Amino acid sequence: MDEITIPGVEMEHSKPRLLHIPTEVCENVIDMLYDLHMSIATRENISTLHSCALVCRDWRVRSQKMLFYQVQLADTTSFRRLSTILDDAPHLRDYVFLVELTGYHLHYTTSIFALFPAVFAAKLPNLFRIDVVHFPDIVVTQFPRASDSPKARALPYIPLHPRFPAFLSAFTAVSELLLMDTTFRSFTEFARMLHGLPNLDQLICYSIRWIAPGGSWHPDANFTKQPEWAAGKDTLPSFAPKLRQLELIDIALYGAKRLIWTRGPHLTWLTLTIPLLSDPEELADRTQLEFMHRAQKIVSLLYLAVLDRYTKWVHHTAACIVEPATLEFDSAIGSPL
């Protein structure tokens, strides 16, 4: 019987066999494309992660986990897009752990931070950190300066609805909150927001302002009343009871006083800048140094990040007021030892 030759068969046998790479190895490579600190290299790798999700079904889940771990929203367009994606693909909700709300329009009537809790309250069960970063007009970034809504109106503060804390209370997994270059109507409104997060453990404030101090709305947030810890009681304050770590950089002195006063010895981490606020009058009358001295008396360890231009002032004045036993210095803002 004559040998039957099928065209192309010999060519196929001559081809080298494709090397099978285990899915676990591919997943490790995908993990290497992501950095929790969102470095420049990570942003450049975002497109690669998108490609991984499209090329192979086995890579899709791992790539999506990396892509949605940290989500950045900069305008109402990205805000609505994320909401739609989570509605269309509910399994992605479990992948979101950190949300960064940023841009030039957080102090607008269309502020995405003001809308965030109402829209995403039941959609992000694993969210543990919220970053709110407002860019002043003088700062140059890649984000658009013009609002995407023609009806948007600029305000001197973030417009929070009275029910904002109630919506915020749905985020039971959130333990960290970062606020940068943001202004609130009053300290009372700010405190209500903090109390709205039932498991808030760490608060980081960079250049936070309040237009008005505001009155006391909660017994444990009353600055004029002696807190229970001052009377020797070891019970946790009912106001933001889980809050134990504070990092206060360039904020109004009365705000720092209130936050620390309500925590007392329950604070396990306190970071302050020297000076706390660059106010020449406060520097002259030693108000800030005396405040730091009192703060040191109620916390186990006080971290001070010294502004470079005030280093000489610190070593000549602060050193004679604050006891060194519970004090550590760092010359870099926001980088405690």
Choosing from 68, 102, 124, the residue where a domain stops is 68
Q: How confident is the model at residue 201 (pLDDT cuts 50, 70, 90)?
A: very high
Total number of domains constituting the chain: 3
Comparison of pLDDT for 108 and 14, the residue scoring more: 108
Instruction: Examine the domain organization and report whether 228 and 321 are in the same domain.
Output: yes
The pLDDT of residue 142: 65
Q: 3-class secondary structure for 281-299?
A: HHHHCCHHHHHHHHHHHHC
Q: How confident is the model at residue 266 (pLDDT cuts 50, 70, 90)?
A: confident
Residue 245 lies in a domain: yes
Residue 85 lies in a domain: yes
Do 250 and 207 contact (CB within 8 A), yes or no? Answer: yes
Do 53 and 63 contact (CB within 8 A), yes or no? Answer: yes
Assess whether pLDDT exceeds 60 at residue 195.
yes
Please state, in angstroms and as integers, the Cα–Cα distance from residue 69 to each residue in 34, 64, 72, 127, 128, following that order.
10, 8, 10, 9, 11
The pLDDT of residue 329: 45
The pLDDT of residue 176: 97
Residue 318 lies in a domain: yes
Q: What is the pLDDT of residues 27-45, one digit of tens each?
A: 666 566 665 555 444 555 5
Assess whether pLDDT exceeds 50 at residue 262.
yes
Instruction: Examine the domain organization and report whether 270 and 316 are in the same domain.
Output: yes
Cis status of the peptide bond prior to 162, with omega within 30 of 0 = no
Residue 92 lies in a domain: yes
Do 108 and 153 contact (CB within 8 A), yes or no? Answer: yes
Instruction: Examine the domain organization and report whether 164 and 242 are in the same domain.
Output: no
Instruction: Examine the domain organization and report whether 79 and 153 are in the same domain.
Output: yes
Assess whether pLDDT exceeds 80 at residue 13.
no
Residue 272 lies in a domain: yes
Instruction: Examine the domain organization and report whether 332 and 234 are in the same domain.
Output: yes
CA dihedral 326, 254, 192, 69 (to 10 degrees): -50
Assess whether pLDDT exceeds 70 at residue 246.
yes
Instruction: Report the residue count for the chain.
Output: 337
Instruction: Examine the domain organization and report whether 165 and 198 are in the same domain.
Output: no
Q: What does DSSP say about strands 129-134 and 98-103: parallel, antiparallel, or unpaired?
A: parallel
Q: What is the pLDDT of residues 161-192, one digit of tens each?
A: 999 999 999 999 999 999 999 999 998 899 99
The pLDDT of residue 214: 72
Instruction: Examine the domain organization and report whether 42 and 141 are in the same domain.
Output: no
Q: What is the pLDDT of residues 78-94, one digit of tens each?
A: 999 999 999 999 999 99
CB atoms within 10 A of CB 111: 23
Global pTM reads 0.75
CB atoms within 10 A of CB 221: 25
Q: What is the pLDDT of residues 225-244, one digit of tens each?
A: 666 666 667 777 788 889 99
Q: How confident is the model at residue 272 (pLDDT cuts 50, 70, 90)?
A: confident
Residue 42 lies in a domain: yes
DSSP states of 189-246: HHHHHHHHSTT--EEEEES-EEEE-----SGGG-TTSPPGGGGT--PPPSSSTT--EE
Instruction: Examine the domain organization and report whether 34 and 130 are in the same domain.
Output: no
Q: What is the pLDDT of residues 120-135, one digit of tens each?
A: 988 999 999 999 999 8
Range of the domain at 141: 74-174
Instruction: Examine the domain organization and report whether 133 and 92 are in the same domain.
Output: yes
Do 218 and 259 contact (CB within 8 A), yes or no? Answer: no
Instruction: Examine the domain organization and report whether 199 and 319 are in the same domain.
Output: yes
Instruction: Examine the domain organization and report whether 234 and 308 are in the same domain.
Output: yes
3-state secondary structure of 40: helix
Instruction: Examine the domain organization and report whether 96 and 138 are in the same domain.
Output: yes
Choosing from 33, 68, 103, the residue where a domain stops is 68
Rounded Cα gap, residues 159 and 188, in angstroms: 14
The pLDDT of residue 39: 47
Assess whether pLDDT exceeds 90 at residue 137.
no
The pLDDT of residue 10: 52
Least confidently predicted of 9-13, 95-99, 205-209, 211-215: 9-13
Residue 119 C-alpha from the chain's centroid: 19
Comparison of pLDDT for 136 and 280, the residue scoring more: 136
> How does the average pLDDT of the chain come out, rounded?
73
Helices (H) and strands (E) in the chain, counts: 12, 11
231 CB-near residues (< 8 Å, 6+ apart): none
Residue 12 lies in a domain: no
The pLDDT of residue 315: 44
Residue 321 lies in a domain: yes
Choosing from 68, 93, 126, the residue where a domain stops is 68
Assess whether pLDDT exceeds 50 at residue 332.
no
